[in-house]
Chain A
Amino acid sequence: MSTVPATPRRHAAQESMMTTPQTTRVASSHIVQSSPHYPTTRRHSLYGTEDRIILDPGSRIWKVGFSGEGKARDVFYAGGEGGQSLWTLNRASKPADREEEDRVLEAKLEACLRSVFHNSLLTDPKSRKVILVEHPLLPLHIKEIMARILFNNLQVPSISFASSHLLALLAAGRVTGLVLDCGHLESSVLPIFSFRPLYPHLRTTPLAGARLSTHIKALLLMFGTYIPPATSLSATMNIPAATRSTRVPQDVLTDKVIDEIKTRICFVGEPLDTEGPSQSMSPGPGDDLDLPPSDPAMSESEFSRVSADIDSNFSSQHAGSSSYSVVSHSQLAGMEHGQSAQSGVQVLATMYSRHSTATDIHMRVDPPPSQQTGTGRGTLIIPGWIRERAAEVLFEGGDVDESSVAEVILDTLLKVPVDLRKTLASSILVIGGTPMLPGFIPRLQAELTRAVSQTSNSSSSSAAPSRAGKARPAVYDRYAALRPLLPYFAILNNPAPPPPASANASANAGKVPAFTPAMMAWVGGSLAGALKTGGVEVQREKWDEAEAQSDEDVPMESSPPRPAGGAGVRSSPAKNILPDWTRSPLPVGAPPAARPPGAAMSSPSVQVAG
């Protein structure tokens, strides 16, 4: 192996060799007598407490079921039919608004949780222990609301909190790995070594499903075609569709339509770099500084800001994030007329469409409510290259706050102890809903390779784009430390692994069970439940105790000033009873005043239990 004898790296190679699980034949003897499903679960009675309920509550989609089963019983949109998310990355800034927001959230969560037990699972919550699959960055107030509903309203006997990343790894049959969860609101990477989540090395990026949706919407607004329904039936015959076609009205692209496009017809194509984009781009306006046509990544990210701005939900995140985005904002303000932005994006479109062989799709959509005059439904024409290239937005980074999905993995690798890098790099696991896009995982593998190897190439030819940073002249080689790891990169659940470059990679890439990425965390929870483990358990007695205690502490403060609170509004419960890793750095028993500022919310001071 071509290893550079740098001291820390030598350690890495050595250490990780021992820790890396190598292929063994030990387990193979068990294959034959793998017991059928029901005999093992037979001893559970219907209402035995051994079967636990596994809840995987996402911001949009919830997965629920019983432990010991390989499949969730029910999956549903928690935010209603439209698929709105229950919570976002933002919270209202005014305290009054925030309180109101929390009340609405609590009411919605209560409806969801009650329906899980009463409609989806048809079981009695009072005799069921619950394993809550939690994202490491699930906001504490949401966790608290869920616990309060489960304990007070539904009266479950206990709740266990288990990290989604860890459970997914369990479902993959591993104890060590680097888990990327690419969900709706954000993508996060958590290294786990030997069952231990290394929370301080958690890295996230907001490039995830929601961003992809806004990007698809923006692309369709610019490049899609809409044919309204003919005004009369005879017109259908006489007037050719081409003359009726218009730009896509914004009302047509409802969240539901966008979601359908995303989940049904989008996929991820291979990277284009092999074609040598700088040559193919020469006809474009090459003197544009902001949107250099030789740099598709850059202009694409420009455009993603455009798209983000179109969607008002996200505009606040972008506004003022950097002066750079201000520039792009002014550009997009005149997007219809401004030559530079228009041409830059246009160039991109032509390049993508030239390289894409994907078919254009005609999709029937409901006409906007303002134009309900025609006969039947309108037609939305989605260019093939949008289907193939919409997900580019997730793969190009270069922004400090919004690194690409590949970069966020590499950033984590840079953070983890040097000894673990090789092991973790060769056992990357990708979970979440967004990787359900066909081609996502192979593309991620390609992007990892490209991001790590690229800078070395570009250092020789200075003109080539450096995707690691915008600083062009002095090449900031961000991932130089990772370059020797290049042959070891392997994605555990890669359905189409590249030819392995090392023994590590060949032992790992594509070797895990073929569970879908979206379901991995739930399956892991089910497995943990069946193995009678599954996180720190909080009993209802403890909760009631703590709550009673907190009531004593603040007897007059919590109830009277909230007369208008209504149903669910509560005396603030003993939140310290809920385990969370953000509280772990403190030694147990430390005074609560020393809580980390991130976790601290306005709460009555409660003694740390125990």
Chain B
Amino acid sequence: MAPKIEYYCPCLSESPHPPPPNRPSSSYSFHPLHNLFFCEECDAVRCNRCVSVEVSGYYCPNCLFEVPSASVRAEKNRCARNCFLCPNCRNTLTVVPSDPPEDVDSRMSPIVSTTLGEPPFFLYCNHCRWDSAEVGITFEKPTGLAAQLQKFEDSAPEALEFERLKEHFEPFLRASSSSSALPSASSHHVHTNPITAAASSALARDIPGVGKYNPLSRSRVGREKGAHRQEYPDYKSRVEVGTALSGEADVEFLRHLETVSQVAALEQRWTNSWVSPLSASDLKPLRIPLQSKKSKRCPSCRHILIKPEQKAQSVRFKIKLVAANYLPAIAVTLPHAQAAIEMLKRTSKTTSAAAQAEEQQAAGALIAGHSYSFHLAFTNPLYDPIQVRLAKAIAPAQTAEGDEAAERARRSTFQIQLPSAAFPVGAFAEAWEYDDEDEAMFLDDDGMEVVEARGKKGKDGRGKTRSVGIVEKRANVTIVSGEVLIPKEARGDVKFNMLVSYTYRSDDPEPSEEAQTGTPSRSHGANKGPEMKNFSFYTVVDLGSIMYREEPKLTADL
């Protein structure tokens, strides 16, 4: 698998430091850059786990009808026009007319047959050939099908039974709630346990047999039966389970089952709250669920981060504050793996795809006992050049527990070297605005720093062929190289947290911003100049997992 990098969203947690990268739970707080948002007010990254979402409009994904919110509820979040899903394969159903009748009959309604087709219309699935006539659903008109079905839905047995149950309990609850107020969680009421409010109101009465037994009620005991019946009239079901559908039939059906597909899958019948036949041939067409256009807000300052255009057909946004426009995009590559893949592509044309994939994986593997260089390509989305500084995130002082220490020891089995000096990334511009002169100018401007970085590397990385520093620089992309050294006994994934801080020129100098403690490194970045600002964020770099098997023949030439 290819090495990858993900960005950290602190999600309003108190500590700005990311969790250690090796925990399974950590993967939930790192996200690909294209999933992140950026709040300008808070100057912080936001993700889909922490933004608050509001619905700005409902529409049907099939007919793109914008459903007014007033009717969304009554239509149960489903399209109330002609959009249906096949119950078997979830494909969209089409309305088809019946076959034209014989010539003799066709004289009866010539107009209808020419424009729309013959009256009994039904729904038909183009994928699995299911049609609604199988379950006895046909329509007189080819439009407003859902409205025609609505009356079946309204008179569904569960809805009727539900209303009846409500009527049954309502007077009882009204009577009892008048005597005692509903308890709340914090009250001094004795019954602060999760009995329903109905229960607690029932508790207010004295019921013979349990609880508040007192001699006064004893006097009533003689005719308790009659009195009791008055209090709790037994609910009489509209449709009793014993008569609704016989369980025997289901058992017999299953006993003589021939194929699995005769029985509807669990997912096809689990929303039914009313007992319904098991067999797949009884499934009804489904109205297509509506979808919503969502606007997203920053969880702390409530500013809008994403606001889509209202029209269902439009895919544009009125407001779109995505992190990709603010943070440099980083791409990780392992040059040795790429070289190996290139070579494999050239040499082995004949091997099967599966084998090739396997070889590629083997070629890109990180083998214990070697050191590899990796490239980080920074792409600047800003219109000003930025200075980027990298640091390997050091986990803040941890409690010296036994297993924590062990984990740390395990984690630091590999060593990472990153370019320590700041390096520049050019400003973003349209493609045609870059030319050779610009690039040359960049080199002139920043050449010193490149040399400096190289020189620094020369001191600590003496004797090694690979460099830790800038590899390539063009347009708004700078590629730097780092190095990972894997000892022989290392295990697991090469995964580390990296702190990226960059300095950019701020358009609007706002001193109040500095007071806000978003990230720790911002304050010392402010010293550089009045209009330069610093932003830093955490990432996790995943270079792949370490292979234990020694495979010298593949790596020797790299």
Contacts and interface: CB of A to CB of B under 8 A. Distances in A.
Given A173-B168, A259-B266, A609-B185, A514 B244 contact: yes
A264 B267 CA distance: 10
B399 A35 contact: no
B53 A581 contact: no
Contacts of B248: 442, 495-496
B274 A526 contact: no
Nearest to A15: B209
Interface string A96-136: 10001001100100110010011001111010000000100
Interface stretch (A70-78, A272-280, A309-317, A337-345): A70-78
Contact of B399 (A94, A121, A561): A561
Interface in A125-169: 126, 134, 153-155, 161-163, 166-167
B170 A531 contact: yes
Given A260-B260, A562-B15, A420 B25 contact: no
Contacts of A74: 271
Contact of A265 (B158, B187, B254): B254
Interface stretch (B65-73, B446-454, B477-485, B546-554): B65-73
A237 interface: no
B195 A166 contact: yes
A16 B236 CA distance: 20
B13 A567 contact: yes
A70 B13 contact: no
Interface in B126-176: 154-170, 173
A492 B235 CA distance: 12
Given A121-B77, A496-B242, A515-B273, A267 B250 contact: yes
A511 B238 contact: no
A609 B184 CA distance: 11
A21 B232 contact: yes
B246 interface: yes
Contacts of A590: none
Contacts of B292: 118, 122
A522 interface: yes
Interface stretch (B16-24, B97-105, B356-364, B500-508): B16-24
Nearest to A12: B209
Contacts of A568: 11, 13
Contacts of B69: 46-47
Contacts of A117: 53
B186 interface: yes
B190 interface: yes
Given A513-B239, A514-B275, A38 B196 contact: no
Given A27-B168, A583-B193, A361 B240 contact: no
Interface in B429-487: none
A356 to B, nearest CB: 8
Nearest to A94: B403
A19 B209 contact: yes
B199 A527 contact: no
A588 B190 contact: yes
B228 A46 contact: no
B254 A126 contact: no
A124 B25 CA distance: 27
A402 interface: no
Contact of B55 (A15, A123, A193): A123
Contact of B196 (A40, A195, A494, A583): A195
B169 A531 contact: yes
A27 B236 contact: yes
Contacts of B181: none
B158 A70 contact: yes
Interface stretch (A405-413, A458-466, A535-543): A535-543
Contacts of B111: none
Contact of B193 (A114, A195, A579): A579
Given A358-B254, A536-B185, A581 B29 contact: no
A267 B254 contact: yes
B266 A263 contact: yes
B197 interface: yes
B194 A357 contact: no
A370 interface: no
A597 interface: no
Contacts of B190: 588
A103 to B, nearest CB: 4
A514 B274 contact: yes
Given A104-B25, A167-B196, A531-B169, A22 B234 contact: yes
B276 to A, nearest CB: 8
B240 A514 contact: yes
A194 B206 CA distance: 10
A510 B241 contact: yes
B109 interface: no
B166 A531 contact: yes
B271 A75 contact: yes
Contacts of A73: 76-77, 271
B31 to A, nearest CB: 11
A561 B14 CA distance: 11
A362 interface: yes
B160 A18 contact: no
A419 interface: yes
Interface string B292-304: 1010000000000
Nearest to A510: B242
B229 A24 contact: yes
Interface of A: 15-19, 21-24, 26-28, 30-31, 34-38, 40-41, 44, 46-47, 51, 61, 66, 69-75, 94, 96, 100, 103-104, 107, 110-111, 114, 117-118, 121-124, 126, 134, 153-155, 161-163, 166-167, 170-175, 193-197, 199, 259-260, 263-269, 357-359, 361-363, 384, 387-388, 417, 419-420, 438-439, 441-442, 492-497, 507, 509-516, 518-519, 522-523, 526-528, 530-531, 533-539, 542, 559-569, 571, 577, 579-581, 583-584, 588-589, 609-610
Interface of B: 9-11, 13-15, 17-20, 23-26, 28-29, 49-50, 52-55, 58, 69-70, 72-74, 76-77, 154-170, 173, 177, 182-188, 190-199, 201-203, 207-211, 221, 224-225, 228-229, 232-248, 250-251, 253-260, 263-266, 270-276, 278, 290-292, 294, 395-396, 398-399, 401, 403-404
29 contacts: A24-B236, A27-B234, A37-B159, A96-B403, A110-B49, A124-B54, A163-B195, A167-B196, A193-B207, A194-B210, A260-B260, A265-B257, A358-B256, A361-B259, A495-B244, A511-B241, A519-B272, A523-B158, A533-B182, A535-B194, A536-B197, A542-B185, A561-B399, A563-B398, A567-B11, A567-B29, A569-B13, A609-B185, A610-B188
Given A22-B225, A175-B232, A533-B196, 8 more contacts: A36-B163, A70-B156, A71-B271, A71-B273, A100-B24, A194-B232, A195-B195, A588-B192
